[in-house]
Amino acid sequence: MPAFSPEGGGPTRGAVADAADFAACTSLIRDGSKSFHAASLLLPRQVRPAAHALYAFCRLSDDAADTLGTDRAAALARLSARLDAVYAGQAMDHPVDRALQAVVRRFDLPRAAFDGLLEGLSWDLSPRRYQTLADLHAYAARVAGTVGVLMAALMNVRDSQRLARACDLGVAMQLTNIARDVGEDARLGRLYLPVAWLEEEGIDPDAFLTAPAFTPQLARVTARLLAAADSLYRRADVGVADLPAGCRPAIAAASRIYASIGHRLARAGYDSVSVRTVVPLGEKLGHLAGAIVWSQTVRTGEAVSGLLGAPPLAATRFLVEAAARPGGVPVDPVPATLLPWEVADRQVEWVMDLFQSMGERDRRNSGRPLAAADFGLSGLQGRAFSSSR
Protein backbone atom coordinates (compact mmCIF):
# COMPACT_ATOMS: atom_id res chain seq x y z
CA MET A 1 0.00 0.00 0.00
CA PRO A 2 1.48 3.40 -0.91
CA ALA A 3 2.48 5.71 1.93
CA PHE A 4 0.04 8.42 2.92
CA SER A 5 0.66 12.00 1.92
CA PRO A 6 -0.99 14.78 3.92
CA GLU A 7 -1.91 16.38 0.62
CA GLY A 8 -5.05 15.38 -1.26
CA GLY A 9 -5.03 14.87 -4.98
CA GLY A 10 -7.37 16.54 -7.41
CA PRO A 11 -11.15 16.41 -7.14
CA THR A 12 -12.77 13.18 -8.25
CA ARG A 13 -16.36 14.03 -9.06
CA GLY A 14 -18.63 11.20 -8.03
CA ALA A 15 -15.76 9.20 -6.49
CA VAL A 16 -17.02 6.28 -4.42
CA ALA A 17 -15.01 4.83 -1.55
CA ASP A 18 -14.12 1.16 -1.76
CA ALA A 19 -12.74 -1.40 0.64
CA ALA A 20 -9.16 -0.40 -0.18
CA ASP A 21 -9.83 3.18 0.95
CA PHE A 22 -11.13 2.04 4.32
CA ALA A 23 -8.23 -0.41 4.63
CA ALA A 24 -5.84 2.49 4.05
CA CYS A 25 -7.51 4.43 6.88
CA THR A 26 -7.13 1.43 9.18
CA SER A 27 -3.44 1.19 8.28
CA LEU A 28 -2.92 4.86 9.10
CA ILE A 29 -4.57 4.45 12.50
CA ARG A 30 -2.74 1.23 13.31
CA ASP A 31 0.62 2.88 12.64
CA GLY A 32 -0.08 6.31 14.13
CA SER A 33 -2.56 5.85 16.97
CA LYS A 34 -2.03 2.46 18.58
CA SER A 35 -4.17 3.04 21.68
CA PHE A 36 -7.19 4.04 19.62
CA HIS A 37 -6.65 1.18 17.20
CA ALA A 38 -6.60 -1.31 20.06
CA ALA A 39 -9.80 0.06 21.61
CA SER A 40 -11.50 0.34 18.22
CA LEU A 41 -11.18 -3.39 17.68
CA LEU A 42 -13.90 -3.76 20.29
CA LEU A 43 -16.34 -1.80 18.13
CA PRO A 44 -18.95 -3.71 16.10
CA ARG A 45 -17.70 -4.50 12.61
CA GLN A 46 -20.35 -2.20 11.10
CA VAL A 47 -19.05 0.84 13.00
CA ARG A 48 -15.31 0.15 12.98
CA PRO A 49 -14.47 1.18 9.36
CA ALA A 50 -16.36 4.45 9.77
CA ALA A 51 -14.52 5.16 13.03
CA HIS A 52 -11.18 4.48 11.33
CA ALA A 53 -12.05 6.88 8.49
CA LEU A 54 -13.02 9.58 10.96
CA TYR A 55 -9.87 9.15 13.03
CA ALA A 56 -7.69 9.01 9.91
CA PHE A 57 -8.86 12.50 8.95
CA CYS A 58 -8.37 13.72 12.53
CA ARG A 59 -4.87 12.19 12.48
CA LEU A 60 -3.98 14.01 9.26
CA SER A 61 -5.37 17.24 10.75
CA ASP A 62 -3.34 16.84 13.91
CA ASP A 63 -0.19 16.04 11.96
CA ALA A 64 -0.70 19.11 9.76
CA ALA A 65 -0.88 21.32 12.85
CA ASP A 66 2.09 19.71 14.61
CA THR A 67 4.62 19.14 11.82
CA LEU A 68 7.51 21.52 12.25
CA GLY A 69 9.18 23.05 9.24
CA THR A 70 5.93 23.39 7.27
CA ASP A 71 3.46 26.18 6.68
CA ARG A 72 0.97 24.82 9.18
CA ALA A 73 -1.62 27.54 8.59
CA ALA A 74 -1.61 26.72 4.88
CA ALA A 75 -1.85 23.01 5.69
CA LEU A 76 -4.95 23.58 7.81
CA ALA A 77 -6.44 25.77 5.06
CA ARG A 78 -5.94 22.89 2.61
CA LEU A 79 -7.68 20.53 5.02
CA SER A 80 -10.62 22.94 5.20
CA ALA A 81 -10.77 22.95 1.40
CA ARG A 82 -10.75 19.16 1.41
CA LEU A 83 -13.72 19.22 3.79
CA ASP A 84 -15.50 21.61 1.40
CA ALA A 85 -15.01 19.02 -1.34
CA VAL A 86 -16.20 16.17 0.89
CA TYR A 87 -19.40 17.99 1.82
CA ALA A 88 -19.96 18.95 -1.83
CA GLY A 89 -19.72 15.28 -2.84
CA GLN A 90 -16.48 15.87 -4.77
CA ALA A 91 -13.87 14.33 -2.50
CA MET A 92 -10.21 14.77 -3.36
CA ASP A 93 -8.39 11.81 -4.88
CA HIS A 94 -7.13 10.44 -1.57
CA PRO A 95 -8.24 7.34 0.36
CA VAL A 96 -9.06 9.29 3.54
CA ASP A 97 -11.16 11.85 1.64
CA ARG A 98 -13.14 9.24 -0.25
CA ALA A 99 -13.77 7.19 2.89
CA LEU A 100 -14.72 10.26 4.91
CA GLN A 101 -17.16 11.39 2.22
CA ALA A 102 -18.95 8.05 2.40
CA VAL A 103 -19.10 8.25 6.21
CA VAL A 104 -20.33 11.86 6.23
CA ARG A 105 -23.19 10.92 3.91
CA ARG A 106 -24.10 7.69 5.67
CA PHE A 107 -24.18 9.18 9.19
CA ASP A 108 -25.12 12.81 8.45
CA LEU A 109 -22.07 14.11 10.31
CA PRO A 110 -22.25 17.81 11.25
CA ARG A 111 -19.78 20.02 9.42
CA ALA A 112 -19.58 22.26 12.52
CA ALA A 113 -17.67 19.53 14.35
CA PHE A 114 -14.95 19.33 11.69
CA ASP A 115 -14.73 23.12 11.51
CA GLY A 116 -14.39 23.22 15.28
CA LEU A 117 -11.54 20.71 15.14
CA LEU A 118 -9.61 22.75 12.60
CA GLU A 119 -10.28 25.94 14.58
CA GLY A 120 -8.83 24.34 17.71
CA LEU A 121 -5.77 23.15 15.83
CA SER A 122 -5.29 26.66 14.45
CA TRP A 123 -5.08 27.94 18.02
CA ASP A 124 -1.87 25.95 18.38
CA LEU A 125 -0.20 27.97 15.62
CA SER A 126 0.38 30.95 17.92
CA PRO A 127 1.52 31.13 21.56
CA ARG A 128 -2.07 31.21 22.80
CA ARG A 129 -2.71 30.99 26.54
CA TYR A 130 -5.78 30.04 28.52
CA GLN A 131 -6.58 32.21 31.50
CA THR A 132 -9.23 30.05 33.13
CA LEU A 133 -10.49 26.47 33.09
CA ALA A 134 -13.45 27.66 31.02
CA ASP A 135 -11.02 29.01 28.43
CA LEU A 136 -9.22 25.67 28.40
CA HIS A 137 -12.56 23.90 27.99
CA ALA A 138 -13.09 25.94 24.81
CA TYR A 139 -9.83 24.58 23.38
CA ALA A 140 -10.48 21.00 24.51
CA ALA A 141 -14.00 21.14 23.09
CA ARG A 142 -12.57 21.87 19.67
CA VAL A 143 -9.68 19.43 19.53
CA ALA A 144 -11.33 16.55 21.41
CA GLY A 145 -15.01 17.21 22.16
CA THR A 146 -15.51 17.34 18.41
CA VAL A 147 -14.24 13.78 18.08
CA GLY A 148 -16.53 12.66 20.91
CA VAL A 149 -19.64 14.04 19.25
CA LEU A 150 -18.68 12.61 15.85
CA MET A 151 -18.08 9.17 17.33
CA ALA A 152 -21.49 9.37 19.03
CA ALA A 153 -23.07 10.14 15.67
CA LEU A 154 -21.42 7.05 14.17
CA MET A 155 -23.26 5.05 16.83
CA ASN A 156 -26.57 6.67 15.86
CA VAL A 157 -26.65 8.53 19.17
CA ARG A 158 -28.23 11.88 18.34
CA ASP A 159 -30.08 12.97 21.48
CA SER A 160 -28.71 15.96 23.36
CA GLN A 161 -28.09 14.25 26.69
CA ARG A 162 -25.83 11.51 25.35
CA LEU A 163 -24.09 13.86 22.95
CA ALA A 164 -23.26 16.11 25.91
CA ARG A 165 -21.72 13.17 27.75
CA ALA A 166 -19.71 12.22 24.65
CA CYS A 167 -18.29 15.74 24.61
CA ASP A 168 -17.50 15.44 28.33
CA LEU A 169 -15.41 12.36 27.59
CA GLY A 170 -13.48 14.09 24.81
CA VAL A 171 -12.75 17.12 27.00
CA ALA A 172 -11.71 14.89 29.92
CA MET A 173 -9.25 13.05 27.68
CA GLN A 174 -7.76 16.30 26.45
CA LEU A 175 -7.33 17.64 30.00
CA THR A 176 -5.53 14.39 30.83
CA ASN A 177 -3.27 14.86 27.80
CA ILE A 178 -2.44 18.39 28.93
CA ALA A 179 -1.64 17.26 32.49
CA ARG A 180 0.61 14.48 31.16
CA ASP A 181 2.49 16.70 28.70
CA VAL A 182 3.23 19.80 30.79
CA GLY A 183 7.00 19.50 30.41
CA GLU A 184 6.94 18.38 26.79
CA ASP A 185 4.65 21.26 25.81
CA ALA A 186 6.73 23.79 27.74
CA ARG A 187 9.89 22.75 25.93
CA LEU A 188 8.02 23.46 22.68
CA GLY A 189 7.03 26.89 23.97
CA ARG A 190 3.43 25.88 24.64
CA LEU A 191 1.46 26.39 27.84
CA TYR A 192 -2.02 24.99 28.33
CA LEU A 193 -2.39 25.08 32.12
CA PRO A 194 -4.82 27.82 33.23
CA VAL A 195 -2.75 30.94 33.80
CA ALA A 196 -4.93 32.02 36.72
CA TRP A 197 -4.14 28.76 38.53
CA LEU A 198 -0.41 29.20 37.95
CA GLU A 199 -0.49 32.73 39.27
CA GLU A 200 -2.41 31.62 42.36
CA GLU A 201 0.52 29.29 43.07
CA GLY A 202 3.07 32.04 42.49
CA ILE A 203 4.30 30.57 39.19
CA ASP A 204 5.26 33.08 36.51
CA PRO A 205 4.21 31.59 33.16
CA ASP A 206 7.04 33.21 31.18
CA ALA A 207 9.68 32.12 33.66
CA PHE A 208 8.31 28.59 33.62
CA LEU A 209 8.50 28.39 29.82
CA THR A 210 12.06 29.72 29.90
CA ALA A 211 13.18 27.01 32.34
CA PRO A 212 10.52 24.31 32.87
CA ALA A 213 10.97 22.71 36.28
CA PHE A 214 8.83 20.57 38.53
CA THR A 215 7.83 22.12 41.85
CA PRO A 216 5.24 21.36 44.56
CA GLN A 217 3.31 24.39 43.34
CA LEU A 218 3.16 23.02 39.81
CA ALA A 219 2.09 19.65 41.21
CA ARG A 220 -0.94 21.31 42.80
CA VAL A 221 -1.94 22.88 39.48
CA THR A 222 -1.61 19.55 37.69
CA ALA A 223 -3.59 17.78 40.42
CA ARG A 224 -6.32 20.39 40.08
CA LEU A 225 -6.52 19.83 36.33
CA LEU A 226 -6.74 16.06 36.76
CA ALA A 227 -9.52 16.51 39.33
CA ALA A 228 -11.44 18.51 36.72
CA ALA A 229 -10.87 15.69 34.23
CA ASP A 230 -12.06 13.06 36.73
CA SER A 231 -15.33 14.91 37.29
CA LEU A 232 -15.94 14.82 33.53
CA TYR A 233 -15.03 11.11 33.32
CA ARG A 234 -17.71 10.45 35.96
CA ARG A 235 -20.29 12.38 33.95
CA ALA A 236 -19.22 10.59 30.78
CA ASP A 237 -19.51 7.16 32.40
CA VAL A 238 -23.30 7.36 32.59
CA GLY A 239 -23.40 8.20 28.91
CA VAL A 240 -21.14 5.27 28.03
CA ALA A 241 -23.39 2.96 30.06
CA ASP A 242 -26.33 4.10 27.94
CA LEU A 243 -24.62 3.61 24.57
CA PRO A 244 -25.70 0.84 22.19
CA ALA A 245 -24.52 -2.40 23.80
CA GLY A 246 -22.12 -3.30 21.01
CA CYS A 247 -20.34 0.05 21.25
CA ARG A 248 -19.87 0.24 25.02
CA PRO A 249 -16.67 -1.85 25.32
CA ALA A 250 -14.53 0.27 22.98
CA ILE A 251 -15.56 3.61 24.45
CA ALA A 252 -15.32 2.31 28.02
CA ALA A 253 -11.84 0.95 27.25
CA ALA A 254 -10.66 4.25 25.79
CA SER A 255 -12.04 6.13 28.81
CA ARG A 256 -10.38 3.77 31.31
CA ILE A 257 -7.02 3.85 29.55
CA TYR A 258 -6.98 7.64 29.44
CA ALA A 259 -8.15 8.02 33.05
CA SER A 260 -5.40 5.64 34.12
CA ILE A 261 -2.82 8.07 32.73
CA GLY A 262 -3.97 10.58 35.32
CA HIS A 263 -4.02 7.99 38.08
CA ARG A 264 -0.45 6.92 37.32
CA LEU A 265 0.62 10.56 37.19
CA ALA A 266 -0.94 11.12 40.61
CA ARG A 267 0.97 8.16 42.05
CA ALA A 268 4.16 9.71 40.67
CA GLY A 269 3.51 12.93 42.57
CA TYR A 270 2.08 14.80 39.56
CA ASP A 271 5.52 15.26 38.00
CA SER A 272 4.92 15.60 34.27
CA VAL A 273 7.98 17.74 33.66
CA SER A 274 10.78 15.32 34.47
CA VAL A 275 9.11 12.23 32.99
CA ARG A 276 6.24 11.42 30.66
CA THR A 277 3.65 9.09 32.12
CA VAL A 278 2.99 5.97 30.07
CA VAL A 279 0.42 3.25 30.72
CA PRO A 280 2.17 -0.14 30.36
CA LEU A 281 0.81 -2.60 27.84
CA GLY A 282 -0.30 -5.03 30.53
CA GLU A 283 -2.38 -2.36 32.23
CA LYS A 284 -3.93 -1.34 28.92
CA LEU A 285 -4.93 -4.90 28.22
CA GLY A 286 -6.41 -5.16 31.69
CA HIS A 287 -8.53 -2.08 31.02
CA LEU A 288 -9.64 -3.52 27.67
CA ALA A 289 -10.76 -6.77 29.26
CA GLY A 290 -12.34 -4.97 32.20
CA ALA A 291 -14.32 -2.79 29.81
CA ILE A 292 -15.67 -5.88 28.06
CA VAL A 293 -16.87 -7.41 31.32
CA TRP A 294 -18.35 -4.12 32.59
CA SER A 295 -20.16 -3.46 29.32
CA GLN A 296 -21.98 -6.78 29.55
CA THR A 297 -23.04 -6.37 33.19
CA VAL A 298 -23.80 -2.66 33.58
CA ARG A 299 -27.48 -1.87 33.85
CA THR A 300 -28.36 1.20 31.82
CA GLY A 301 -30.22 3.78 33.81
CA GLU A 302 -28.75 2.50 37.08
CA ALA A 303 -27.17 5.20 39.25
CA VAL A 304 -27.68 7.73 36.49
CA SER A 305 -29.43 10.23 38.81
CA GLY A 306 -29.01 13.68 37.32
CA LEU A 307 -25.68 13.11 35.62
CA LEU A 308 -27.02 11.94 32.27
CA GLY A 309 -29.28 14.95 32.06
CA ALA A 310 -26.66 17.46 33.21
CA PRO A 311 -26.37 20.35 30.77
CA PRO A 312 -23.40 20.33 28.42
CA LEU A 313 -20.35 22.38 29.20
CA ALA A 314 -20.79 25.90 27.87
CA ALA A 315 -17.83 25.22 25.58
CA THR A 316 -19.43 22.14 23.99
CA ARG A 317 -23.00 23.39 23.61
CA PHE A 318 -22.44 24.36 19.96
CA LEU A 319 -21.34 20.81 19.16
CA VAL A 320 -24.35 19.23 20.87
CA GLU A 321 -26.73 21.55 19.04
CA ALA A 322 -25.06 20.85 15.68
CA ALA A 323 -25.21 17.06 16.07
CA ALA A 324 -28.57 16.61 17.78
CA ARG A 325 -31.52 15.41 15.74
CA PRO A 326 -35.17 15.62 16.85
CA GLY A 327 -36.24 12.35 18.40
CA GLY A 328 -32.72 10.98 18.17
CA VAL A 329 -32.35 7.71 20.07
CA PRO A 330 -29.55 5.14 20.31
CA VAL A 331 -29.84 2.38 17.73
CA ASP A 332 -27.82 -0.74 18.49
CA PRO A 333 -25.71 -1.53 15.38
CA VAL A 334 -24.91 -5.06 16.59
CA PRO A 335 -26.74 -7.56 14.33
CA ALA A 336 -29.84 -9.08 15.88
CA THR A 337 -28.40 -12.50 15.08
CA LEU A 338 -25.73 -11.96 17.76
CA LEU A 339 -26.90 -12.37 21.33
CA PRO A 340 -25.15 -10.33 24.07
CA TRP A 341 -23.04 -13.22 25.38
CA GLU A 342 -21.95 -14.07 21.82
CA VAL A 343 -20.79 -10.48 21.37
CA ALA A 344 -18.84 -10.79 24.63
CA ASP A 345 -17.30 -14.07 23.47
CA ARG A 346 -16.01 -12.52 20.26
CA GLN A 347 -14.63 -9.47 22.04
CA VAL A 348 -12.87 -11.47 24.74
CA GLU A 349 -11.58 -13.86 22.08
CA TRP A 350 -9.87 -10.89 20.44
CA VAL A 351 -8.28 -9.90 23.77
CA MET A 352 -7.05 -13.47 24.28
CA ASP A 353 -5.64 -13.53 20.75
CA LEU A 354 -3.82 -10.30 21.59
CA PHE A 355 -2.45 -11.90 24.75
CA GLN A 356 -1.13 -14.72 22.61
CA SER A 357 0.55 -12.43 20.10
CA MET A 358 2.08 -10.34 22.87
CA GLY A 359 3.19 -13.54 24.59
CA GLU A 360 5.10 -14.53 21.50
CA ARG A 361 6.74 -11.12 21.38
CA ASP A 362 7.58 -11.26 25.07
CA ARG A 363 9.04 -14.75 24.68
CA ARG A 364 11.43 -13.39 22.07
CA ASN A 365 12.45 -10.55 24.40
CA SER A 366 12.64 -12.16 27.83
CA GLY A 367 12.02 -15.86 27.48
CA ARG A 368 8.74 -15.84 29.43
CA PRO A 369 5.38 -15.47 27.70
CA LEU A 370 2.66 -13.24 29.08
CA ALA A 371 -0.38 -14.94 30.54
CA ALA A 372 -3.88 -13.83 31.41
CA ALA A 373 -2.94 -14.05 35.08
CA ASP A 374 -0.38 -11.27 34.54
CA PHE A 375 -3.28 -8.91 33.99
CA GLY A 376 -5.57 -10.18 36.73
CA LEU A 377 -7.64 -12.07 34.16
CA SER A 378 -7.28 -15.66 35.27
CA GLY A 379 -10.64 -17.38 34.91
CA LEU A 380 -12.01 -14.84 32.43
CA GLN A 381 -11.44 -17.03 29.39
CA GLY A 382 -13.46 -19.92 30.79
CA ARG A 383 -16.44 -17.72 31.62
CA ALA A 384 -16.37 -15.89 28.31
CA PHE A 385 -16.15 -18.99 26.17
CA SER A 386 -18.61 -21.08 28.14
CA SER A 387 -21.50 -20.54 25.75
CA SER A 388 -19.63 -21.54 22.63
CA ARG A 389 -16.79 -23.87 23.61
* Tens of pLDDT, residues 368-389: 443 433 333 333 333 332 333 2
Query: Is 26's pLDDT higher than 70?
Result: yes
The length of the chain is 389
Mark whether 123 and 257 lie in a shared domain.
yes
Q: Span 4-33, mean pLDDT? A: 67
- The better pLDDT of the pair 328, 302 is held by 328
Query: Is 28's pLDDT higher than 80?
Result: yes
322-328-330-333 Cα dihedral, nearest 10 degrees: -80
Q: Is the dihedral of CA 42, 3, 281, 237 positive or negative?
A: negative
Query: Is 65's pLDDT higher than 90?
Result: no
Of 334, 349, 367, the last residue of a domain is: 334
Q: Span 316-337, mean pLDDT? A: 70
Query: Is 356's pLDDT higher than 50?
Result: no
Mark whether 255 and 322 lie in a shared domain.
yes
Domain containing residue 148: CATH number: 1.10.600.10
Q: Span 54-59, mean pLDDT? A: 85
Mean of per-residue pLDDT scores for the chain: 80
Mark whether 292 and 190 lie in a shared domain.
yes
- Rounded to two decimals, the pTM is 0.80
Cα separation, 293 vs 381, whole angstroms: 11
Q: Span 334-341, mean pLDDT? A: 39
Mark whether 222 and 371 lie in a shared domain.
no
Of 107, 135, 152, the last residue of a domain is: 107
- The better pLDDT of the pair 53, 383 is held by 53
Mark whether 10 and 88 lie in a shared domain.
yes
Mark whether 80 and 122 lie in a shared domain.
no
Mark whether 219 and 263 lie in a shared domain.
yes
pLDDT of residue 71: 77
Lowest mean pLDDT among 14-18, 252-256, 346-350: 346-350
Of 46, 77, 107, the last residue of a domain is: 107
Q: Span 27-54, mean pLDDT? A: 78
pLDDT of residue 372: 36
Structural domains in the chain (count): 3
Mark whether 167 and 97 lie in a shared domain.
no
* Tens of pLDDT, residues 100-150: 999 999 999 999 999 999 999 899 888 899 999 999 999 999 999 999 999
- The better pLDDT of the pair 249, 306 is held by 249
pLDDT of residue 281: 84
Mark whether 268 and 247 lie in a shared domain.
yes
Tell me the residue range of the domain where 152 lies: 110-334
In angstroms, how far is the first alpha carbon of the chain from the final one?
A: 38
